[in-house]
Structure 1
């Protein structure tokens, strides 16, 4: 079956969703799936060509073998790195005929750059920028509405490492090249660092990679798991498939449905392995990534894990297990790799025993993100819109929220007649151009679903209208309310949990009024201190005897998950960011040691963009400068890992160096128990 004739999207399991149609146009975004199959033939253009990051990336990618045809600097013509500078994307398309564009502009310019590339009909657009405001993507000419009604351009990202063909030596993104080797495993991931660990594991196993696609951790991802799975199914270079997911959204649930269908309709299916990060993530927290949070009613990581497992994916608790596991599975299917006695039917078996945890409902008054406001502040915002509020406790838990539907790629109403029962939530997507809900059939549908009397339909419309105006005007990402009926018959809000997009402030300095509502004196001091140094730190509840220091949000989540599965008790989640430096390592140690519960520290670094020897030097210097007494276990993988491990081992300090996760985990758990 050709790629362009495949079905567009697989319905997700669990959360019920109503869909809307923005156009009757026959053009299909699904027709662009084949644009993901990059290789030696792919001609790459750079937007933001002369910037520092783009310049460094172009040099590396050219040396590796990527065919780069130039770049864009608005209004300028000339030459950079021996390649032409074009004044616009349109001009570049006319003269260089690029197959793909790599967008290396700041977050607040990314939406405009994506739109330019779509208008120029560049076949593949890869947006790597972080801190892209959600509402920029939603409102800037409605990017995803444009994409869904055309058949020329495919988007990967934003907020992603990119896409890379190890076979074709084509890199569009900032992936660490030393980890990659030509091979036969296709990889699709949300997390950058987890994908690098996955790549390195398959390289060490002698399998290598065919195509690696990072959908990224963004709320509005242009390419998702199912899109990549469709490519891998029909790709002759791909023999095995690996999927790396995490908390937030429902993409993993859609993937599970697709995998289940694929295995039922295919005589000799390609083996599929998977990992889900965030099994131990506390409810309500945003775990580093822009999209690592769950809207009301969305599944937690445990639910995603079990859905993928039931669908037939082999689940692992750490990415270093992918290489050996996939080699065994490929041998079982008779494709490539070593043989085993377990047989292909064993795909439903997990590679470890996972601790089962029952998810608990999230309290609505938790302060969980820098731009989540207090409930009384949310009430004040509602009062400004003339919405009745009642701060007295109420037994009512009927819920109405405005959030983002990551599958429909649009805003949505999330309604639940019982907020304490997440499985009862239903999404009602609508267009970002919606202006008035007064007589909207959508509100009537919501009212009917909630079982509200006809007399309250107008008041429900007022509440939805107010929430929608707040959502747009103040650039929210999630507005939750619980409401009931007052004595006079009006609807009144009893609970509110409002979250606003920090990227709007961080990249564009918009919404300063909302940002100013934050009171850091009421937050965990360690989290506030970490933020000053660009570190994401989340203090975890419980006995927490192990401090963690990790580079990358996905890897940090997985580190906490895996240590917990091994019997450890983590005190924190800590993400230094993709590039760990001696200064961020030093700051991280200082913050971790301020927690008196910590008896041992686990440093889990994948040296991709930063070399392991540089990281080791930073760890040694920080350990000495801070006069640390707490024992530290260091696991280094990636570029120059052997040199980094040697430096740690020979430092003469109470540092314990490992390359494998299992041995490192056992060591730090033992040290923490002393």
Structure 2
């Protein structure tokens, strides 16, 4: 499959020779030096187009069927699919029982996996074994340890590339190839390559570049999972050498360091290219709740990871133009095209009006909090974090000396966690725990998930911890105990504070987080999840959780209740309100498939916060329909005896229907399609009360 090589505007002159793709089956050629092939050699498999042959796993299922019909009508070359135990035909295309048989008979370039989270790991592994070049996993709530195992497998091969999980997928607007669930009406063929952690923010960016007349070339959903199969740098390598891509949009958020890696790559790219492609970006989560998981499974900071402000600063240093809302991407890119001498249509705005003005804000990081005579790490909420006393009990059951801190002895930090850079588990060690910056000297020691902890790492860990010679002998026992607990009970973070005492290591603080997806999707680890204590949690958050709503009550004097679909958009709504001078009272993500009933339930939760003076509904319709949201707002007014003013901003799928329903309701609702106008109205109403 050969894509056309047509250059529009001014050519890019790079100081290194242009790399070539062998399309569809192999990766970018980065060196003439002989080396062992690996996962990086699959990056080129991300180049999809009109000739890309696509299969679906779970092809005959309800969601896959609906998605396939839409995609086929749009132009995607879906050649068949797989449903275990079935042979036959579906949607006029063959159905086969295994991926291996589909590879032999249908010769696909890509597979979309449309099965439930508990079935997805096996489906991904089957696709890897069959050597499908591109594997797109859209499912949310795949257990972290299943993904760790999959990444361990991916590293050993050079045939298959994974996009996802928990991602909207990948789509070529030029080639009319969609492998995912992106809202097709937003896309037009064009010039902008987009890579994003957030689905809803990427849809907003697509709509903005469409309204600006720029359109899109290739859009890659990195996804909001803890571990992504394809990251920002992988996408940037594709965009650099894609003649259809003339500008790049990057959408990041809190969690991990992928944005920092992207900034480093961009810095090098701008040095080696005389006319580099312009890049604009946004980072969500500046005003996140410290230590909380902000909707996406991966939207939280592990020890030593940067916050949103650090990511913004580093991207700006790399020459990236930052915006504070995705609706600004279209005008920002037109401005950058004009500044770079590349062809652009339409009027441009000034670059300064598109820059983020948040860099002087102080980033808030998790800190040690004192509780009488003991200190514990402030918890990051990703069900399930267990009480410290229960965590210490788990250690004692494994023969590890553990008790409350007496106030004596130098505390050091030792943890087992996910290393998002190496896509593997790791030991994290810090020689000193400063209450103001507990992870300042943290260092990671990754190890392979399937092979387990490598004992040869112990001396380096002991040296970094600055342990006395008499205590070094007891370090392996602590590490092995933590690793055993981490692997067997599917933790994502086991963080301990310990002191040296009489030649031994004694744990005096613990912050243990276990994977909720392992329990919710597969009912594994029931004994660990029995440790959950509902009474320790915020009652409104627990109430919202029952309806699939992620609600976090923000600290302070926020007076604007927010109701948003999508975690990334919800984070950005809180940030953008702060930029405009407002104060959000909460983070609320209705989920990507919000219904009228979900919207009503969201209103119920928000109304229990007495600080709230106005409710701001910010919806971008992807899977969520604008008219459905509007009907949910009306339902809330009817059944909840609403007395607070409500500002509604609806864009995306069925936006005109939704706006019309709001406008014609006769209720005290304020309807907008522009975010800044809606935010200004919400702030005005909140301050008036």
What residue ranges of structure 1 are gaps of 5+ in the alignment? 9-23
**3-state DSSP of counterpart to 1:628:** coil
Distance between the aligned counterparts of 1:603 and 1:251, measured in 2?
Answer: 30
**In structure 1, what is the equivalent of residue 287 of structure 2?**
280
Give RMSD over aligned pairs.
1.9
**3-state DSSP of counterpart to 1:510:** coil
**In structure 2, what is the equivalent of residue 37 of structure 1?**
47
**3-state DSSP of counterpart to 1:227:** helix
**In structure 2, what is the equivalent of residue 478 of structure 1?**
493
Aligned partner (choices 323, 337, 344) of residue 330 of structure 2 = 323
**In structure 2, what is the equivalent of residue 11 of structure 1?**
none
**3-state DSSP of counterpart to 1:493:** strand
1:219 aligns with 2:207: no
**In structure 1, what is the equivalent of residue 252 of structure 2?**
245
Contact 1:330 1:338 in 2 (8 A): no
How far is the alpha carbon of 1:5 from its aligned partner?
5.3
**In structure 1, what is the equivalent of residue 165 of structure 2?**
158
Distance between the aligned counterparts of 1:32 and 1:601, measured in 2?
Answer: 46
How far is the alpha carbon of 1:639 from its aligned partner?
1.3
Contact 2:332 2:349 in 1 (8 A): no
Distance between the aligned counterparts of 2:133 and 2:651, measured in 1?
Answer: 35
Q: Give the 5 Å matches for 1:163-178.
A: 163-178=170-185
How far is the alpha carbon of 1:354 from its aligned partner?
4.8
TM-score (norm 1): 0.94
**In structure 1, what is the equivalent of residue 87 of structure 2?**
77
Q: How many residues align?
A: 651
Contact 1:332 1:339 in 2 (8 A): no
How far is the alpha carbon of 1:641 from its aligned partner?
1.2
**In structure 2, what is the equivalent of residue 118 of structure 1?**
128
What residue ranges of structure 2 are gaps of 5+ in the alignment? 1-17, 21-26, 369-376
Distance between the aligned counterparts of 1:642 and 1:152, measured in 2?
Answer: 45
**3-state DSSP of counterpart to 1:107:** coil
Residues 258 and 436 from structure 1, CA distance in 2 versus in 1: closer, same or farther, beyond 3 angstroms? closer
Contact 2:453 2:483 in 1 (8 A): no
| Deviates further, 414-423 or 424-433 | 414-423
Distance between the aligned counterparts of 2:200 and 2:528, measured in 1?
Answer: 32
How far is the alpha carbon of 1:618 from its aligned partner?
1.4
How far is the alpha carbon of 1:352 from its aligned partner?
4.1
How far is the alpha carbon of 1:137 from its aligned partner?
2.1
| Deviates further, 274-283 or 181-190 | 274-283
Distance between the aligned counterparts of 1:470 and 1:167, measured in 2?
Answer: 49
Q: Give the 5 Å matches for 1:274-353.
A: 274-338=281-345, 350-352=355-357
Residues 467 and 6 from structure 1, CA distance in 2 versus in 1: closer, same or farther, beyond 3 angstroms? farther
How far is the alpha carbon of 1:178 from its aligned partner?
0.8
**In structure 2, what is the equivalent of residue 228 of structure 1?**
235
Aligned partner (choices 451, 457, 460) of residue 442 of structure 1 = 457
Residues 5 and 100 from structure 1, CA distance in 2 versus in 1: closer, same or farther, beyond 3 angstroms? closer
Contact 1:551 1:577 in 2 (8 A): yes
Residues 586 and 5 from structure 1, CA distance in 2 versus in 1: closer, same or farther, beyond 3 angstroms? closer
Distance between the aligned counterparts of 1:370 and 1:151, measured in 2?
Answer: 35
How far is the alpha carbon of 1:292 from its aligned partner?
0.9
Contact 1:602 1:633 in 2 (8 A): yes
Distance between the aligned counterparts of 1:393 and 1:529, measured in 2?
Answer: 38
Aligned partner (choices 400, 405, 427) of residue 444 of structure 2 = 427
Residues 397 and 303 from structure 1, CA distance in 2 versus in 1: closer, same or farther, beyond 3 angstroms? farther
TM-score (norm 2): 0.92
Aligned partner (choices 629, 651, 670) of residue 665 of structure 2 = 651
Aligned partner (choices 348, 363, 370) of residue 383 of structure 2 = 370
Contact 1:355 1:565 in 2 (8 A): no
Distance between the aligned counterparts of 1:302 and 1:54, measured in 2?
Answer: 39
Distance between the aligned counterparts of 1:66 and 1:59, measured in 2?
Answer: 10
Residues 286 and 436 from structure 1, CA distance in 2 versus in 1: closer, same or farther, beyond 3 angstroms? closer
Aligned partner (choices 121, 140, 143) of residue 130 of structure 1 = 140
Contact 1:26 1:149 in 2 (8 A): no
Aligned partner (choices 513, 518, 524) of residue 499 of structure 1 = 513
Distance between the aligned counterparts of 2:349 and 2:178, measured in 1?
Answer: 37
**In structure 1, what is the equivalent of residue 653 of structure 2?**
639
**In structure 1, what is the equivalent of residue 395 of structure 2?**
382
How far is the alpha carbon of 1:476 from its aligned partner?
0.3
Q: Deviations over 1:236-266 (max 9, x none)?
A: 0001000000111110000000111111111
Contact 1:484 1:491 in 2 (8 A): yes
Contact 2:334 2:347 in 1 (8 A): no
Q: Deviations over 1:352-407 (max 9, x none)?
A: 45551233343314362320101111111111111111213536441111011111
Residues 435 and 65 from structure 1, CA distance in 2 versus in 1: closer, same or farther, beyond 3 angstroms? closer
How far is the alpha carbon of 1:336 from its aligned partner?
2.5
Distance between the aligned counterparts of 1:273 and 1:621, measured in 2?
Answer: 39
Residues 6 and 291 from structure 1, CA distance in 2 versus in 1: closer, same or farther, beyond 3 angstroms? farther
1:191 aligns with 2:198: yes
Distance between the aligned counterparts of 2:229 and 2:220, measured in 1?
Answer: 12
